[in-house]
Chains A and B, each alone.
Chain A
Amino acid sequence: MTMGEKPKKKLLVLYASQTGNALDAAERIGREAERRGCPASIVSTDEFDASYLPHEEAVVFVVSTTGQGDSPDSFKAFWKFLLQKKLEKDWLQGVRFAVFGLGDSGYQKYNFVAKKLDKRLSGLGATTIIEKGLGDDQHPSGYEGTLDPWMLSLWSTLYQINPKYFPKGPDVKISQDDLIDQPKYRILYHKQDKLESTLLTDSDIIQRARGMSPGKLYKDKSKPDCFLKMTRNEVLTKAGSTKDVRHFEFQSVSSTIEYEVGDVVELLPSQNPSAIDAFIERCDLDPESFIIVGPRETENSGVNEEMVTQLPIKLKTFVELTMDVTSASPRRYFFEVMSFYATAEHEKERLQYFASTEGREDLYNYNQKESRSILEVLEDFPSVQIPFEWLVQLVPPLKPRAFSISSSPLAHPDQVHLTVSIVSWITPYKRTRKGLCSSWLASLTPEEEVHIPVWFHKGSLPAPSQSLPLILVGPGTGCAPFRGFIAERSVQAQSSPVAPVMFFFGCRNKDTDFLYRDFWESHTREGGMLSEEMGGGFYTAFSRDQPKKVYVQHKIREMSKKVWDLLCGGAAVYVAGSSTKMPSDIMSALEEIVSEETGRSKEDASQCLKGLEKKGRYNVEAWS
């Protein structure tokens, strides 16, 4: 920058994304800004130093709120910084901002993260560009229903504030036949003879492929923690059940297994080999070519030297390990790019329609509601030939799937056990779809000796010490981590005293989906961790065994005296399971108990439980 030259106006888009939706929205905002001539940088809040905020001129925040009202993990440290009392009321003076939230109005704590952020930023002296936008999953078109009009308002207001933001004007007429965006990645192809002669291990290959992938999140480890092989595949549900729940056991084939009870393991699923072949053929790619994937140079980034020294990987392997072609659905932008590369007129029209505002609902019915895969979409539009660079950017990344571990390192040394419900559903058009990872696991046999790459990490359930009394609530597959807790405590009890455990389990029918029945019942007998004499108990709710629905929260209420006694004795509450409503139902039941036993109001009881949460004595692992 030479003297006298004013810096170009630019936009900072800070996003806090848990499952990638806020990231999509942030990328969309960035793209729209760039189309109007304003450079934008898109940065996650866990990669941005909050103390630099006062130096920014214009910031757009895109933040998600989860069902329980929580912020994404990537937002927590950033938010904590902003909450500091020591920040002055004018700390962000001169900073213009706008907040867009992604949430679901079906939940009480609707878009709480965005609402609080908007308020706090104003409280710190920053100026709003426009009022906060609240994206809503309940809206027929999802968050995009709100985002589109909100963005138009954002651009026109920003232009009014200073026309220099958009040298091309705030309204951009994009001719449908031009694709003015460029792919964010480029591919380097390598000749066969330039290859290294050493053989790569599976671990090296996975690390190399996933390290190059755009889907790699900042804090992910590309190299698996270890490889597991399946030693047992047992069906837990009995005939007559509508569900198929499996008990899987695994052993390591690489390094030693290290985890604690309550931890989570992530598995990278394999994709159907014929599907991979079909995809590669459909896209006219050479599976045997060797490639390096890296970011394209832009005026901001310059030459990427890293790419020159990176080592290549086979194209087919890259597709297998990092590009989800049979399971995840593409996003709206994929259809937009496809329309440019369609040669058949009717296909081009249809794709442009799907990418437009008018076509959003039809796109939703065709794509998201039917869970269309990339391969299916490409086969439905046979004239489209997309360059590989675009495919790398737009094909959803193959994601590892997380499961709560149901074994204990003490009770089951060198093993990992999982309790998995095989996912299967029927779409509105009556097509049957299956979950990628659960179906693949169900199809494996120990004889095949397939090596599964896995990563271990902490979940929301910290391992309790043996002297901590426990109140465990785990209906359905939620019982999985607690099988580990109880097995562990059982071993610990052999050498020193252990505290009591109350375990509340629920399922539909005693006869068909009473998971691990023998295990729990063995612990209710003399000396067991759930026995009366040890101060604990095992309580079951079979929702469909009688005309009236009975759930775990009803059983908790039945045992209110004992639950209260245990809480007074210092017990911690752990809740796990797959329902979206269950955790709040449990919280309500406990609030009622506290309120009754102390004679205080429901609000006070709620505060009390919030206090327990802050101290780590109320932990919830809820999965969908």
Chain B
Amino acid sequence: MGCGVSVATKTQGNRLETEDLVQTPNRALTMKAAVLIQRWYRRYMARLEMRRRYTWNIFQSIEYAGEQDQLQLSSFFSFMLDNFTQLNGNGPDLISQLLDPVVDPWLDRETCYNFISVPETYTGPRLLFPLSVSDTNALLSAFKEQQTLHARYVLQLLYETKKLLKQMPNIVHLSTSCTKEITICGDLHGRLDDLLLIFYKNGLPSAETPYVFNGDFVDRGKKSIEVVVLLFAYLLLYPDYMHLNRGNHEDHIMNLRYGFTKEVMQKYKTHACEILQLFQDVFSLLPVATVIDGKILIVHGGISDQTDLDFLSSIERHKVKSALRFPRRRFEQLDIDHSCRQVKRIKSTDASLPSSSRSHSKTHRKRRCGLSRQDSGTSVSSSSSSSSSSSSSLCSPQTPSCLSSRPFPSSPSISYAANVLQVPFLDSLSSVPPPSPPQHEKEWKQIVDILWSDPKIQDGCSPNTFRGGGCYFGPDVTRKLLLQHNLQLLIRSHECKQEGYELCHDGKVITIFSASNYYEDGSNRGAYVKLGRELVPRFYQYQVSRTTRRLTLTQRVRAAEGSALRALQEKLFVHRSELMAGFQQYDQSHSGFVSVSEWILVLEAVLTLDLPWRTLRPHLCRVAPDGRVEYESCFEDMGPGIPLPQVTPNLAETLFRYRTDIEIIFNIIDKDHSGLISVEEFRHTWRLFSAHLGVDIDDKAINDLARSIDFNKDGSIDFTEFLEAFRVVHKLEIKDQQPIGTTNKSLCQEKSLLQ
């Protein structure tokens, strides 16, 4: 960093001599000017970096908090499944079909897809099995041109993939001696652009360019079907050079929540169910691990201190259809209202919890949601969405006496393993029958650990309470496993990294993530890693750019930041009543103000998001001249999609908060994809959902709401319109909104600042 000729002058004062400006600038002056500009610019860049960091924090916290929410949904489905068999008048229960399908003999028949006719007007690829390069090329061009593959070919492709996968072991062993370098890619999450970019930069899969794709091909992105069809097509084409590991999103329950199910239903209306069922089978048949040269282990999530690769090789992997459900059990018929209200009370008054989960969660990375923070000293009732924390209370000895008549599953002295297994599904139920046979649990846990775990910095292995499954594993766990199986490196994915990859555990663990711009345009790069015979990893990064003009870092940070802050504001809005109750605890005199520290305490207690609230405060609310926070200003910028007359705040908030989940349920009920469900179905679903949540909402409130919004159409409810009312909208957008009945959806769709 030398600049040979000139002498570095220390800028004592900040003044430039004005006379010098008139003359030809001398050496020293130029120097001073340069240093000044450099100082200014470096400071500017540092500020940008700071903003980028907390934007990242926000996205990640909300993402992990959202993953907790999905436990709600899965337990709700279990609940529905076991207690209400028929939601529709006739025919098999659709939800039951989706969640727990009996093997449909129709689907296993060789020629079932042959009965589906492909019209002459279809201009997409017509695949010919066994596949050849011309088929995969046809798929590539078709998808680049936004075409959709016909359902018949999707089914056939899935059927063939299923046949192939059945022959594969749980752990696939590869060797670099037969091939050139192996390329390993991480999460794609339905980002077709990233996949195409990888193929473009690195080459299409072939004997010269073998690939391992490490899970999470679907969900979140809009082109999950295209991504996974391409991957399966190449798998069929080159089974020796294309390898796929299962990820935690290759799971039909996750798909319900994170968009894959919806995408299939939208693109394949009539055949969606069959397709989804086949996907479910195929996903559960994906191998769970790949080993290269007996030295490099590749799994999607990570490992635990219980991971046993030999045992893992021996189990029947396809039996673990979803990480989120046990093999189905019969729950006792419950008195819904009574027990749910009991449970809600438990959540808000529970003071002492088994210490295990709390102390463990304190030791890992800051970016995790602060689940360890229970309700603070205030008696704010915790929201149901953060239920996983309360669930551990069900295993504690401090059981309220009203529930003691029912048998309890386990004592708190059981190791964390049992807690993680049983607890997430029980948040709304007061008891369960004794657990399934241990063998089942062990197998399930092996797979869940592989698919869901994350590395942490400290030694040890603790339950991954935020994800709801798997664990946090420390460098000692890694060392032990690698040693045990004579391995030298663990490659995993599962976590988004700013640079697309990251090393940890002293270089023994690599995280590789291949979906660029995951949270927002410009949020992160994607990467892939290549390994040659010497097994030295080489990283390649990229970033898909959606605009033709290259954005500056400033613009990208601004856009991402805007997006993150809006997401955060929405979070505040949908928890408004709890937050207000919390603030008012500190503001008994109803002045409308609390101190910054009090404001932070309430936010942390209600939202359980581990964020730098003090730093974010200026973006979220106003302060008075004396420095106190005007807490109602937090909610000022947000509002409902359309004015909602006569809605109790409680109901409105519940609808806002669970909008996505409710939408999923409606979509499932709406078998013919008409956008309409019957009033009775609507009421029934709503009753179930609110019972499950323990929210006290009666029929009258729902009926009143339905009437006031006036979306009834001949005894049916247009649920899309209903839900539109509960999409949280930023008030600045409302001015530009067109009247109801026109394309509200497209306007509300785009959330980022950059249109």
Bound together: no
Q: Which residues of A contact B (CB under 8 A)?
A: none
Q: Which residues of B contact A (CB under 8 A)?
A: none
